[in-house]
Amino acid sequence: MSLYGLHGEENIRKMFEHLAALQKLYTESEAPSFFGDNLIALYRNMTFMFDEAFTQAFSAAITKGAAEDEVKLWRLYTLSWCGRTALNVPGDFVECGVYKGLYSAMLTQYLDWATIDRRFYLCDTFTGLPEEWSSQQERDGVNQFYEWEGTYERSENGLRNIPMWT
């Protein structure tokens, strides 16, 4: 097994022990820090965690109790900032690779999409990466996640709270 340049289970175990100790140190000292989604941010500006519009949109979009959604806090705020900034540029929005709709739901909730005169195109195969447009390596890394019953229907249900969804 390999992780970010480290090889061997013992080295990886040590790394996680050290990261856990670092996280504990920052948490106990109440120093600003973020540990999640393959990101460690220490003593960074984290005022976005007090942005009421963002926290409400985040809470509405994530699957409650789903750790894989909850750790995407920083990534979803970055998306929200990018979406808000993109409103300064004319044109519609497009998301390629909707998967379960978390990012679309989050962004439209945060931007209050019902008040925006733009279209948001959501594109996905809902079956994984097609052979004609991707390598075997890409498909091996992604398509396994699409092998659950009703991918499209689950995505559609997750997007129903988006104001423009029809």
Q: Residue 28 burial by CB count (10 A; 0-12/13-18/19+): exposed, middle or buried? A: exposed
Residue 158 — pLDDT band, cuts 50, 70, 90? low
Residue 125 — pLDDT band, cuts 50, 70, 90? confident
39 assigned to some structural domain: no
Residues 84 and 20 in one domain: no
The verdict on pTM exceeding 0.85 is no
CATH number at residue 74: 3.40.50.150
CA neighbor of 154 nearest in space, from 130, 126, 129 = 126
First-residue to last-residue Cα distance in the chain: 45
Q: Is the pLDDT of residue 88 over 60?
A: yes
Residues 77 and 3 in one domain: no
The predicted-structure confidence for 7-62, as pLDDT tens digits, reads as follows 788 888 898 899 999 999 999 999 989 988 888 999 888 888 889 999 999 988 88
- Domain extent, residue 7, equals 1-31
| Contacts of 32 by beta carbon, 8 Å cutoff, 6+ apart | 26, 42, 43, 44, 45, 46
52 assigned to some structural domain: yes
| Contacts of 15 by beta carbon, 8 Å cutoff, 6+ apart | 3, 6
Per the structure, how many domains does the chain have?
A: 2
Residues 11 and 75 in one domain: no
Residues 24 and 59 in one domain: no
